[in-house]
Amino acid sequence: MTDIIIEVTSKNFVEKVIKASENLPVIVDFWAPWCSPCKQLTPIIESAVNSFSGKVILAKINIDENQSIAAQMQIQSIPMVYAFFNGQVVDGFQGNVPESEVIDFVKKISELSGPDSGVKENLESLEIFITNSNWEDALKQANTILDIDQNNIDACYGKLISFIELKKFDDAREFMSILPEEILNEKKINEISLKLEIKEKSFEASKNFDDLKKFLEENPNDIQAHINLSNALFGVGKISECYSTLIQAIKIDPKWNDQEARKKLLSFINSHDLASEEARKARRQLSSILFN
């Protein structure tokens, strides 16, 4: 198995960096023992590379002991970081940049390697299972991918959405708690965390569905009752009725409690299916209420 953090010298630079980058991207960190910013960068870049294990290599070069390479690469100040892929420099940065930028840099370089053929085939199967709402198989497929590539964004998403749709909310939260920060900050993972919150609340509300429906029938102008029932409707999968219930609440008083009904409607639409006919109809009705 390839070491992901290695010490490189002038003698093995071609082998360990140039040639090795034909298989995996290689990030080269030029440093020196007397360099304070280098010492600050080291744990950050090493942690980031470890987070993308198997996707990128970190090669560390002490410029005091390898001056010929430093001269060849025209290193004038350190820390200096270059990324090699297919034998060529493809990116880099100089200085002690913020941790978030280091993580983004390593992530971008790691993606150059792309998924291996096995992961690619599994990802295609995962997408099919998700499209067909086959959540048990989607969960198994996501776990298979994560056994190979523990930081695969699509597999993390697949595992989370499967847990949510299977109503395994505690499992979803436990899985999220062990994900590295760079994964949690991904747009689709952020979006799924919102879906988790909405689905969990809706599922709990659905347990009192009959009582909530009866209360609204007895109190047709109670906006909070509309919102409570919408949670339950969403929880039992009655999406069209959920949206209609909130539209009725907005008609009664669009500004009630800082437009809570409107915000609730939009959160449901965003977490379910923006392109669905129910969503399009609800948005048209909402626009008609607010702008007429």
Nearest to 112, CA basis, from 94, 93, 88, 96: 88
CA distance 157 to 45: 25
The DSSP call for residue 287 is H
- The answer to whether 156 is a known catalytic residue is no
Residue 68 contacts residue 100 (beta carbons within 8 Å): no
Q: Which residues pair with 5 in a beta bridge?
A: 58
Question: In this structure, what are the phi and psi dihedrals at residue 238, rounded to the nearest 5 degrees?
Answer: -90, 75
- The answer to whether 35 is a known catalytic residue is yes
CA distance 86 to 242: 53
Catalytic residue among 27, 35, 109, 192: 35
**Measured CA angle at 201 (ends 195, 203), to 5 deg:** 95
How many helices (H) and strands (E) would you count in the chain?
15, 5
CA distance 67 to 254: 70
Helix (H) or strand (E) holding 30: strand 26-31
Catalytic residue among 20, 38, 80, 286: 38
CA distance 219 to 227: 13
The DSSP call for residue 23 is T
CA distance 201 to 189: 19
CA distance 88 to 19: 10
Residues designated as active site:
35, 38
